[in-house]
Chain A
């Protein structure tokens, strides 16, 4: 019950089709997404520091750079950025709860589903406003 995924995939003799394929365990998925979203947000932060540094050179250099962020591809990237921050925040609270509340390991899976529900509701609401702003 602790480690679901590949180990628990049902292998009934004679029923090859009953193997549903490899499913990443929920803990591995949450860990990988946490790291990818964190490093992605860090990469954007560094770009963002460079752009805001240009504000010290006056309206010309700064406003000239902003075509970048107004590009449609970047505006989709902006939504992905918000998703990465929200995921990292929701999953981060789950990690902190598990670290400081010893009994939390018993409901570890449920905590992940709660964190994902918070993430999806918050992200859907924010993304809806951002997409509406584009038109």
Chain B
């Protein structure tokens, strides 16, 4: 019988502050995302479902600053956590220097673009600017 491993999984990185912070961030954001993402899923897919969700549903929900903040925190943590996973996948599979640099550029660009898109959607949304629709919705 071989000696047992004294640890399993990905070791805590040393000697590189960015990788160490990324390692901690991955785990801490993961714990927060369990609460945020599961709450979001239960509200959107169990309590309600996709046949009930439309423009007026979103307008009603984002009438509350609490849910806008909740959704924005979920957006940011999910993007950072998800693209960090994509970055580690790139490091695992893409060995060629040029392609790896290209893939990292795509990941960082996409991260910034989707943070901006999502933030614009959540922060600037104003249902009153579509008054015809909200008047007929009666909510």
B93 to A: closest C-beta gap in Å: 10
B70 to A: closest C-beta gap in Å: 14
User: Number of contact residues on A: which range applies?
Assistant: 35 or more
Contact assessment for B54 and A92 in the assembled complex, using a CB-CB cutoff below 8 Å: no
Interface status of B58 (Cβ within 8 A of chain A): yes
Q: In the complex, what distance in Å separates the CA atom of A3 from the CA atom of B33?
A: 32
Chain A residue numbers with a CB within 8 Å of B120 are 53, 56
Interface status of A96 (Cβ within 8 A of chain B): yes
CB contacts under 8 Å to B, within A58-93, are 58-59, 62-63, 66, 69-70, 74-75, 78, 82, 85-86, 89, 92-93
17 new A-B contacts at CB < 8 Å, known A56-B120, A58-B55: A1-B4, A35-B85, A39-B89, A46-B110, A46-B114, A49-B114, A49-B118, A52-B118, A56-B125, A66-B53, A89-B30, A95-B9, A98-B8, A102-B7, A105-B4, A129-B46, A133-B51
Interface residues of B (CB under 8 A from A): 1-2, 4-10, 12, 27, 30-31, 33-34, 37-38, 41-42, 45-46, 49-51, 53-56, 58, 75, 78-79, 82-83, 85-86, 89, 110, 114, 117-118, 120-122, 124-125, 129-130, 133
